[in-house]
Amino acid sequence: MTTGTLSAAASGTWELGDLTVNRVGLGAMRLTQKGAAFDAAAGPSDRDRAIAVLRRAVELGVNHIDTAAFYFSSLRSANELINRALGSCPDDVAVVTKVGPSRDASGEWLPWARPEQLRGQVEENLRQLGRDHLDVVNLRTQGPGPIAEHFGALAELREKGLIRHLGLSNIRPEQFAEAREIAPVVCVQNWFAVGSLRPGSAEMLRICGEERIAFVPFYSIAGERREAGAGASERPEILEVARAHGVSPVQVRPAWTLQQGPHVLVIPGTGNPAHLEANVAAGALRLTPEEMALLG
């Protein structure tokens, strides 16, 4: 459902397997606490406000929510907030999670999961979300190297019906090719932002376009600030484009990202209702070829 003229549908649609989603989604990482994500000193978010942001997102046509069981603060879990806000999650809202990393109850990062530990991570996501299957599970890698055992373990869970579709996160082209020998891949999540790329990401953008697979950048707004989110300062060329369109610099970044190709989705994270609406509005912003060239 949409409200007024502001709608995520203005960004266009793409497919995650057999799931059609609007190209502007919502990242859940920033829903659980104040300040930077994973900052132990930051206090927990306001629960009612976080739930309201999720419900408002769906009202605005956001039907792609990115989450993980390791998105939590001292009193909040992103998955449980999603469960509370959306019930068992409507069929037209795709909830995408990821496995590989994990944190203990105090928030400390644990060693990367071994292949045999991935089922436990999948089941924890299922429990927290209150579901009997997960729409999409991304295997997040920890860097270069073979991923066949890990991806194979998830492919087995897909065969058992616990997972509908599989994706990859933080990968390189050779890992993508390795995974596709095992099972279909419906999306790739890599670091990709104006002025901030990582090895293999530009090539993965191209490959995904050729294969008609969703490319879903993370840190598309934050860039090098990562979990800290958008900063107060901005590159001069972004400020110039923002002034030309009468929008905020933060809105220029996802607009640039979306114009990298029709297969590109964005999942900006926020726990702020006003920022949510600005992010959704950015899906309707069209930059000129000259502006795209200026931004690089």
CATH number at residue 211: 3.20.20.100
The pLDDT assigned to 233 comes to 57
Does residue 33 belong to any structural domain of this protein?
A: yes
Q: Which residues are catalytic?
A: 71
Q: What are phi and psi of 189, to 5 degrees?
A: -110, 115
Whole-structure pTM value: 0.92
280: in domain: no
Q: Is 131 a domain residue?
A: yes
Residue 248 included in any domain: no
SS (H, E, C) 236-291: HHHHHHHHHHCCCHHHHHHHHHHCCCCCECECCECCCHHHHHHHHHHCCCCCCHHH
Judge whether 95 lies within some domain: yes
| Tokens representing residue 81 in the block | 């907030």
Q: What's the pLDDT at 90?
A: 60
Phi, psi for residue 280 in degrees, rounded to 5:
-65, -40
Q: Is the residue at 293 inside a domain?
A: no
Domain that holds residue 173: 13-234+264-272
- Kindly list the averaged pLDDT for each block of 10 residues, start to end, along the chain of length 296: 74 97 96 77 87 96 97 94 82 94 94 97 97 96 95 98 97 96 97 79 94 92 49 78 94 95 96 95 97 92
Count up the domains in the chain and report the number: 1
| pLDDT per residue as tens digits for the range 210-230 | 999 999 998 777 544 444 444
The DSSP secondary structure of 50-64, one letter per residue, reads: HHHHHHHHHHTT--E
pLDDT by residue (tens digit) across 117-144? 999 999 999 999 999 999 999 999 998 9
Residue 180 lies in a domain: yes
- How far apart CA 203 and CA 196 sit, in angstroms, is 14
- Specify if 154 maps to a domain: yes
